[in-house]
Amino acid sequence: MSRKSVHAVAAVLWAVLGGALLVPGGAVAAPPSDEARTEADLDGDGRADPVTLVQVTPESMLLRVGLADRFVDATVPGNARGLAPRAVDLDADGRAEVLVPGSVGANTVTSTLWGLGPGAGLRQMTDPGGAPWTVSEGGGASAIAGHGCLADHDGRQVVLVDARLDDGSADPNTYSGTRTALTVANGTATPTSVVPVQRVPRTDPLLQVDPAGCAPAD
């Protein structure tokens, strides 16, 4: 289904005002069961903006943010399976972004990052090549995936951990992969360093990240 068609379907299914669903005649209906909500101050005005994610087709979602004077929408590919977006501030500029879950597996959730662009709408964060930037979390027993943030002189440094089980017979099990540091600015997540991780236990400091460090400041 095309992006235009998805918006058309979403418009027929729902029209959100303050998170409510309108039906013909102006009556307010209960929100759909596949709607997930959170709050995030995307424009940095000190007001928590309502954020709603609705599954409009099996493969696409409508992300809607209620700013003080308008709503802004974006079509997001994927299926969140009822998980809500999560507020972060990866560039520490006082304006939140939201991590939007789009792929939910048995042990791993992969999300894309969205924030307000320089124009009037939402913007998806990309890597330096222009591809959507994703964050994976989880991994189960056979892998480790996660993100965290550290303070640096320019604001925040984002850290991603991605490792796979390399020796299940070891006691404890060992993992190998990478620990990548990035900066997020102007809609782009740019790697600044990649540290190899080789045959270390799950408790090794190189595999430790704290997503709470990425939360918006109070």
SS3 56: strand
User: In tens digits, what is the pLDDT along the chain, a chain of 218 residues?
Assistant: 554 444 444 444 444 334 444 333 333 344 555 799 999 999 999 999 999 999 999 999 999 999 999 999 999 999 999 999 999 999 999 999 999 999 999 899 999 999 999 887 999 999 999 999 999 999 999 999 999 999 865 678 999 999 999 999 999 999 999 999 999 999 999 999 999 999 999 999 999 999 999 999 87
Task: Name the pTM for this structure.
Answer: 0.83
Both tokens assigned to 87: 């507020």
CA-nearest of 32, 73, 78 to 54 is: 32
What residues contact residue 56 under an 8 Å CB cut-off, 6+ apart? 6, 9, 10, 13, 62
Parse the chain into domains and list their residue ranges: 3-214
Contact status, residue 56 vs residue 48, Cβ threshold 8 Å? no
Contact status, residue 108 vs residue 130, Cβ threshold 8 Å? no
CA 32 from centre of chain: 21
Quote the pLDDT of residue 53: 98
Burial grade of 27 (CB within 10 A; 0-12, 13-18, 19 or more)? exposed
Quote the pLDDT of residue 13: 42
